[in-house]
Structure 1
Amino acid sequence: MTRTQNLAPVLASALCLAGLPAFADVTPRQVWDNWQAIIDRSGSGAVTVGNLEEGADTLIATDVVYTFSGSDTTSAVMVDRITLQDNGDGTVSVSLPDDIPVDVRTDEGERIELYVTPSGAQTLVSGTPDAMNYAVSADQYVVGLTQMVDADGAPVDLDFRVALNGLTGNTVQNIGTDLNITYDFAAQNVDLLVDGADDTGEAFTVSGKIDAMALDADLTLPAGSGLSDISADDLSDVLVTGGYGYDSAAYIFASSGAEMSADGTATTGAVRVDFGIDADSLRYAVRADDMVTALRGTELPTPVEVAAASYEVGLTMPVSPSDEPQPFALNFGLNGVTLNDETWGLFDPMGAVPRDPADLVIDLSGTMLSADSDDTGADDVMENPLAGRTLASLDVNEIRLGAAGALVHAVGAFTYDLSGEQTLSDVTTPEGSATITLTGINQLIDTLIAMGVVPQDQAMMGRMMLGMFTTPAGDDTLETVFTFTNDGQITANGQRIR
C-alpha cells in the first residue's frame, strides 16, 4: 500500500513536466524565465541545467534535472534536451526527447525508476508573459516502471505500464498579484497493465482500458505564497476546484499461487470525481454507474457476479475555525445491487427470498463548530473528516435500506447543546425526533421461518419487540417515532425507553 501511495504524486509530476503544461511564454527567453519563476513559486521544486544555449529564435536547455520533494519522497525528472522554438507569430513550440527517466526515492530507502515516453507530442504556447496558454497534444504518452527496489535493496517483482492515447488539452497560467492555473485535458482512451508477484510467489496481473477520460482543475494562490506555503490551517484566498471522469472502463484481473487461483472482470459505466477546497469548506463527490464485478476461483463454490446500478459519495465539511456553526453534508448511495442466481442459490435454492435489487441511501446534513486552528485544521479533516468537529444540528434527510422485499426508512432532525465540551465522538444527548418506517418486515420473517433460517420462537420474540415500539401504518407497514429530550429521555411512540 505504501508503494502505491508513493507512486501517485510521482506519476502526476512526471506527466506534468513531460508535457510542460505550465512553463512557457510568447518568446523562448520568456518561456524559460517564466519556467524558473514558477518553479521558485512552487517552493518544493528545484531545477539544474547542464547547458543553456540561446540563439536568435531558439533556446536549448540540455541535461535538465527537475527535483521535487514531497512529504516522504524525493523525485527527479531527467530531461536530456528541451528546445523552445520561436515560430515567428508570437507563439513558441516546445520539443522534448522521446524518453524521460524519472527517479523516485522514499525516506524508507525504496527506489522507483520510471520512464515517460511521449509520441507525436506537440506543445504550442501563446498569450502574454502574464497570461500564457499551452495547447498540448500527443498521439500517446506512456508512463512505465523500469525497476523498483525495496528498502533492503532487493528488487521488487512488479511491472506496470499506463498509456494515454489521443491526448489533447490546454493549460492557462495567469501570473499577477495572485497565481491562477487552469488545466483541461482529455484522452481518447487509457490502457494499463500491472503484473508482478508478492513475497510468497503468488503472481497477479491486472489489465484494463478506460474510454474518454477527462481532467480539469483550477488553482488560485494568493500573492506571496507558493505551493509549499499552503497551510491547511490557513486557506484564506486559496481556491482549488477540479475533477476527472470517464465514459466507461473494463478490467481483467487474475492471481495464482501454490494453494489457490482466481480471476475475474470488472466494468463500469460513466464515472465522475469532483473536489474543491477553499477558506470555508472541503468538498468531495464521486459517482459511478453500471458497475459489474465477476469473480471465480478455486476457493469459491460458484462464480460470483455482483452488479450495482450506481454508487455515489458526497462530503462537504468546514475547514476553518468559526465561532458560529457552519454547514456540513454527507451522503452515500448504493443503488440497484444484484447478485447472480448461482450465488443466490447457495443459500436460497428455492428462490423464496425476493431477489429485487437492493438499495442503501444515507443523506445527512446539518451544522457544526470547527476547532481552533491550533488544535485541528484541514489536514486533520482530510485524514479524518470528523476530527475536532462539534455537532450543532443534524438533519437525517433520508436513511433507506431496501433488500429481500423489505424496506427500512428513516428521517429526523436533532439539535445539540453547545454549552458543554463535546466532539462528534462524545456528543451530548440531542433534542429532536426521528421517524422510522418498516415495510415488508413481517413477510420477510415468515419467509425466513419457512426456509428454516429463523426458528419460530425467535421470530415470535422479535415480533413482540416490534409490537412494543411500533404502530401499524398500512399493509405490512410499521412505524415508530423516537423522541429525544434535552434532559436525556428517549421515548418510542410516547413510551419511555430511557
Structure 2
Amino acid sequence: MSVIIARGSAAAAILIVSAQGALADLSAQDVWADWKAYLTSTGYTVSGTESISGSTLTVSDVAMVMPIPEEDSTGTVNFPEIQFVENGDGTVNVLLPKEFPMGFDFSADGESFSGKLIYAHDGSPMTVTGDAESMSYDYSSSKVTMTLDGLTADGEAVPADIAKAQITLHDVATRTDMKIAGARRYEQSLTASSFNYDMGFNDPESNGSGSFKGALQGLRFAGTSTVPTGLEGPDMAALLEAGFAFDGTFTFAGGNGAVSGVDGSESFAMESNSQGGSIAVAMDKQQLTYDVSQINTNVNISGSEIPFPLALSMAETGFKLMMPLAKSNEEQDFALGVTLRDFAVPDMLWGMVDPTGQLPHDPATVVLELVGKGKVLFDLFDPEAMEAVETGDEQPGELNALTVKQLQVSAAGAELTGTGDFTFNNEDLVSFDGMPAPSGEANLKLTGANTLIDKLIQMGLMSDSDAMGARMMMGMLAVPGDGDDTLTSKIEISEDGQIHANGQRIK
C-alpha cells in the first residue's frame, strides 16, 4: 500500500504542475485546445464537458488519464471545473475555484488506490498575454495549500488518522514565457516567501507511526525546458530522442525540518536547520546533471538505539553528478563531486575516544572532485537491457579516463591532499586482476600523520607493531616534503603495468 500511496502522490503533484504550466493562449477556446494538445503530446488523455456563456468557456468534469506502461496500469486525476475568460483586451484569464477537490485513481498489480486533494488559493486568475506562437502568463496568490482528504485502498476507506499530508506556499508568484514552434520551449520562474509541509502516518497493525514536518524560506526557481510534440505516449526514451530537455535551479534562503518515527518500542527523531542552499538539475538526451549544496547545516539526532543525543554541524555540504545517458561507442564526459566541509561532532562523542583531549577536535573536511570519460554500452531506459546488465549478460560501459581534480581529507590534525590523471586500457583486463589497466600519475601530500600515529599509540588506540607497519608503508610510498611532519608521493603507472613511487619501482 505504501508503494501505491507514493506513486499516487507523485503523479498527482506532476499533474498539478502540468495543469498550471500549460494553459496559455489568447482566446478561451484556443486556450483549452492548446492545453489538451500539450497534455496529449506528453501521454495524457484529456476529456471534459464544455459550455460557453458570453466570453467564458467552462470545462467541467475534467479527467486526465495517464498510462503507466512499466506497471501495466493507468492513473486518473479529476478536476471539477476550470474557466477560461476572455478579458476583451487580447488577454485570457484562467480561473480555478478558491477551493476544490482534485480526485486521483491508480491501479497496478491487482491493487487499486484512490483519493482526493483539496486545492485552495486566494482565487487569483492566471493571466495570459502574447500571440499564438509566443505566450506569457503570470500567476500570483497570497497562499496556496494542498491537503490530502480521503483515501481508498482496494475499495475500502482508509481511516483519516492513518495518513495526512499538507503543503502550503505563501506569497507565490510565477511567470512562464512559452514559444511554440515544432516543440514547446518554456522559460519559467517562481518565488515564494515560504514553503511548509506536514506529513505523517500511523500503522495500527505494527503500532508504528511517522511524522515529517518542515519549512523552507525565500524560495526561488528559474529554469528552461523543451517539450516535443507529436508523440503517442510518455516513453522517456522517445521523449529524450525527440528533444525533451530541462535545466533549472531552485534556491532557498533557509530551512528547517523534523523527522520522527516509532516502531513498537523503538523510536527515532531528527531535527535539522540550515542557512540556505540550492538544487540544480539538467537533463537532455546526452546527459543528466545534479548539483546540490547547503550551507551552515545543524542536525540533532536522538532515538532509543542511540545512547545520547547527537548534535552535528556542517559548514558546507554538496553533491555533484554528471552522467551520460545515451548509448554510444564514443567517449562521453562524466563527473562526480562530494563536499563535506567543517563537519563537527559534539565533545561528548569525542570524549568516548579521546577522554584526555590529546587529539585536535577541529572539524573534519572531505572534498572529492572527479571528472572523466567513458562509454555507455546499453540503453538506460530499456528494461530488458537493464535486466541484462543486472544479471551480468551485458556490459554496462567502459571507463576510459579519470582525473582527480581535488582530494582533501582532514581530521584529528592530519590532512591528505592530492590530484591525479589516468587513462584506462579496456583491452587489458589481466594486469590488474580484471580491472582495465590504468596508466598515469597521482601526486599526494600528507601532513601530520606521524604526530597522529604517536598520539594514537599514547591513547592505546594503536599498537607499536601496527604503527611500525604504517610507517614502513609511508616510507615506501612517500618522501619527506617541505615543513615538519610532511610527506609527498608521486605514484606513476606506466602503460606496461609498472608502478613507480617517487621514481622507485614497486611493481
Structure 1 length normalisation: TM-score? 0.89
Distance 1:427 1:462, change over 3 A: closer
Instruction: Tell me what 1:189 maps to.
Output: 194
Instruction: Tell me what 1:395 maps to.
Output: 403
Q: C-alpha distance in 2, partners of 1:235/1:28?
A: 33
Q: C-alpha distance in 2, partners of 1:179/1:24?
A: 12
Q: Deviations along 1:295-316, whole A, 9 cap, x unmatched?
A: 2234332220111111111122
Distance 1:492 1:170, change over 3 A: same
Match of 2:497 among 478, 485, 488: 488
How far the C-alpha of 1:336 sits from its partner, in A, is 1.0
Match of 1:61 among 59, 62, 67: 59
Instruction: Tell me what 1:301 maps to.
Output: 307
Q: Deviations along 1:52-99, whole A, 9 cap, x unmatched?
A: 111331111111112223344633222222111111111111221211
Is residue 376 from structure 1 mapped to residue 379 from structure 2 by the alignment? yes
Q: C-alpha distance in 2, partners of 1:269/1:382?
A: 40
How far the C-alpha of 1:402 sits from its partner, in A, is 0.6
Residue segments in structure 1 that go unaligned for 5+ positions in a row: none
Q: C-alpha distance in 1, partners of 2:433/2:54?
A: 67
Is residue 413 from structure 1 mapped to residue 412 from structure 2 by the alignment? no
Q: C-alpha distance in 1, partners of 2:187/2:439?
A: 46
The question of whether the paired residues in 2 share the 8 Å contact of 1:398 and 1:410 is answered with: yes
Match of 1:332 among 314, 332, 338: 338
SS for the counterpart of 2:234 is helix
Is residue 137 from structure 1 mapped to residue 140 from structure 2 by the alignment? yes
Q: C-alpha distance in 2, partners of 1:101/1:305?
A: 41
The question of whether the paired residues in 2 share the 8 Å contact of 1:118 and 1:138 is answered with: no
> Where does 1:20-35 land on structure 2 (aligned, <5 Å)?
20-35=20-35
Match of 1:167 among 129, 149, 172: 172
The question of whether the paired residues in 1 share the 8 Å contact of 2:206 and 2:264 is answered with: no
Q: Deviations along 1:269-316, whole A, 9 cap, x unmatched?
A: 212111112343322211111111102234332220111111111122
353-362 vs 132-141, which moves further:
132-141
Number of positions where the alignment pairs a residue of Structure 1 with one of Structure 2 = 490
Q: C-alpha distance in 2, partners of 1:472/1:148?
A: 68
SS for the counterpart of 1:34 is helix
Q: C-alpha distance in 1, partners of 2:263/2:228?
A: 54
Instruction: Tell me what 1:290 maps to.
Output: 296
281-290 vs 292-301, which moves further:
292-301
How far the C-alpha of 1:39 sits from its partner, in A, is 2.2
Amino acid aligned to 1:479: T
Amino acid aligned to 1:409: T
Instruction: Tell me what 2:445 maps to.
Output: 437
Q: Deviations along 1:115-134, whole A, 9 cap, x unmatched?
A: 13222132111111222222
How far the C-alpha of 1:322 sits from its partner, in A, is 4.4
SS for the counterpart of 1:99 is strand
Instruction: Tell me what 1:103 maps to.
Output: 104
The question of whether the paired residues in 2 share the 8 Å contact of 1:184 and 1:214 is answered with: yes
Amino acid aligned to 2:419: V
Amino acid aligned to 2:193: Q
Amino acid aligned to 2:179: N
SS for the counterpart of 1:430 is strand
The question of whether the paired residues in 1 share the 8 Å contact of 2:5 and 2:113 is answered with: no
Instruction: Tell me what 1:353 maps to.
Output: 359
How far the C-alpha of 1:227 sits from its partner, in A, is 6.9
Q: C-alpha distance in 2, partners of 1:316/1:30?
A: 40
Q: Deviations along 1:368-407, whole A, 9 cap, x unmatched?
A: 2332xxx3346799999xx833222211112211111111
The question of whether the paired residues in 2 share the 8 Å contact of 1:170 and 1:184 is answered with: yes
Q: C-alpha distance in 1, partners of 2:156/2:463?
A: 59
218-227 vs 96-105, which moves further:
218-227
SS for the counterpart of 1:12 is helix
How far the C-alpha of 1:38 sits from its partner, in A, is 1.4
Match of 1:242 among 240, 248, 262: 248
Distance 1:456 1:421, change over 3 A: closer
Residue segments in structure 2 that go unaligned for 5+ positions in a row: 390-394
Instruction: Tell me what 1:364 maps to.
Output: 370
Q: C-alpha distance in 1, partners of 2:291/2:26?
A: 38
Instruction: Tell me what 2:392 maps to.
Output: none
Q: C-alpha distance in 2, partners of 1:456/1:60?
A: 83
How far the C-alpha of 1:259 sits from its partner, in A, is 2.2
The question of whether the paired residues in 2 share the 8 Å contact of 1:245 and 1:273 is answered with: yes
Instruction: Tell me what 2:75 maps to.
Output: 75
> Where does 1:161-240 land on structure 2 (aligned, <5 Å)?
161-198=166-203, 199-222=205-228, 224-225=230-231, 228=234, 230-231=236-237, 235=241, 237-240=243-246
Structure 2 length normalisation: TM-score? 0.88
Instruction: Tell me what 1:86 maps to.
Output: 86
Amino acid aligned to 2:106: R
Instruction: Tell me what 2:477 maps to.
Output: 469
Identity %: 26
400-409 vs 167-176, which moves further:
167-176
The question of whether the paired residues in 1 share the 8 Å contact of 2:4 and 2:113 is answered with: no
The question of whether the paired residues in 1 share the 8 Å contact of 2:231 and 2:239 is answered with: no
Q: C-alpha distance in 2, partners of 1:253/1:99?
A: 30
Q: Deviations along 1:300-335, whole A, 9 cap, x unmatched?
A: 322201111111111223333445423322211111
How far the C-alpha of 1:252 sits from its partner, in A, is 2.5
Amino acid aligned to 2:411: A
Instruction: Tell me what 1:266 maps to.
Output: 272
Instruction: Tell me what 1:47 maps to.
Output: 46
Q: C-alpha distance in 2, partners of 1:415/1:288?
A: 33
How far the C-alpha of 1:178 sits from its partner, in A, is 2.2
